[in-house]
Amino acid sequence: MMRTLLLGGLAVAACALVTLAPASRAEEPAAKAATQTPAGGKPAKAKKAAPPAQNPAVAGEPGLLPFTPTEVTAAPPGAIDITSDETMEWHNDQLAAVARGHVIVVRGEDTLHCDTLVVYYRKAQDGSTEMYRMAADGQVVMTSPSQQAYGDHGVYDVDQDVTVLTGDHLHLVTRSDTVYARDTLEYWKQQQLLVARGNAVAINDKGDRIRADVLVGIMEQNAAKQLEMTRMDAKGNVLIVTPKDIARGSDGTYNVKTRIAILTGDVKLTQGQNQVNGHRAEVNNATGVSRMLPDETVKGGRVHSVLVPKRSDQPAAPAGGTKTPGGGAQP
């Protein structure tokens, strides 16, 4: 699903001042040698001295070479490109850089859109500065070749390589799945995990739906070298809804490829007014068959069912409804 979207930084340059050294007196013997008379001959003509090199110093600044900044024509691999409609600011005291106005951040195939971006720096041991945190605010959209994530705020922690989205209407969309969350959407790049917290819901294009307090998507690289979800772990108040059944449990695991979910811990399978209780259930969304299984950790564990048959001992209501004491017809 979600790939990691890494965010950028700004570069600063410094110039060096070079002082022109005066001519050395060591040149004087050479000048005298040029005018000396060789043995037995006429004095040699002195060679015309070359004009002194023109001082390229800026007018009014004798002895200083002008600084010409190097133009950056192409970003090196792995670099981050940041553009904005309004301003880019560098706050030296806070060690922060701010970009404002429809900010677009591009790194490789990943793109971030937001209203405002703040890049935080800290001083390294060698005296340089390094980026450690980035914060995006306002209409945050993070895109990669296979997914898009939406939120109001986004924070990227460089040390942990974790991106966290917060705000209203949090959701992530892939080619086959949509994941919603109330509190946070997180992507842990090193672990290749997507974490949705707070009344999290995942729905795929086949209609499978799973809800829990926390959903953790385990992602792997497919044949096209793109990340895709292979398994989803559900924690707390797990609910799986199929066209025929409703399954509840404390924890669950959903296999994306087989479409089979395993629920554990105080499991209930409900179909209409019928209910089966147990400790472990298998819900096969591909076949539409749900099974309650005994608890493997409890010796002699049993499955308990409560079935409500249709009542056939009541006479059928006559056409037009039954007369009520008030004279009206009851449908």
Q: What is the C-alpha to C-alpha distance for residues 187 and 6, in angstroms, rounded to an integer? A: 11
- The count of C-alpha atoms lying within 13 angstroms of the C-alpha of 243, restricted to the half-sphere facing its C-beta, is 7
Under the banding of pLDDT at 50, 70 and 90, the label for residue 56 is very low
Residue 62: pLDDT above 50?
no
pLDDT value of residue 302: 60
Stretch among 68-77, 82-91, 133-142, 252-261 having the lowest mean pLDDT: 68-77
Q: What is the C-alpha to C-alpha distance for residues 72 and 288, in angstroms, rounded to an integer? A: 60
**pLDDT tens digits, one per residue of 180-203:** 999 999 999 889 999 999 999 999
Say whether 329 sits in a helix, a strand or coil: strand
**pLDDT tens digits, one per residue of 82-121:** 999 999 999 988 899 999 999 999 988 889 999 999 999 9
Q: What is the C-alpha to C-alpha distance for residues 110 and 101, in angstroms, rounded to an integer? A: 19
Q: What is the C-alpha to C-alpha distance for residues 23 and 44, in angstroms, rounded to an integer? A: 25
What phi, psi does 294 have (nearest 5°)? -70, 155
Give the residue-averaged pLDDT of 295-323: 57
Q: How many CB atoms are located within 10 Å of the residue 80 CB?
A: 19
What phi, psi does 27 have (nearest 5°)? -75, -15
pLDDT value of residue 234: 97
Q: Which residue has the higher pLDDT, 126 or 19?
A: 126
Residue 321: pLDDT above 70?
no
**pLDDT tens digits, one per residue of 218-251:** 988 888 777 788 999 999 999 998 878 889 999 9
Average pLDDT of the chain is: 76
In 3D space, the residue among 231, 191, 227 whose CA is nearest the CA of residue 215 turns out to be 231
pLDDT value of residue 70: 55
pLDDT value of residue 306: 54
pLDDT value of residue 2: 33
Q: Count of H helices and E strands in the chain?
A: 1, 20
Give the residue-averaged pLDDT of 6-14: 33
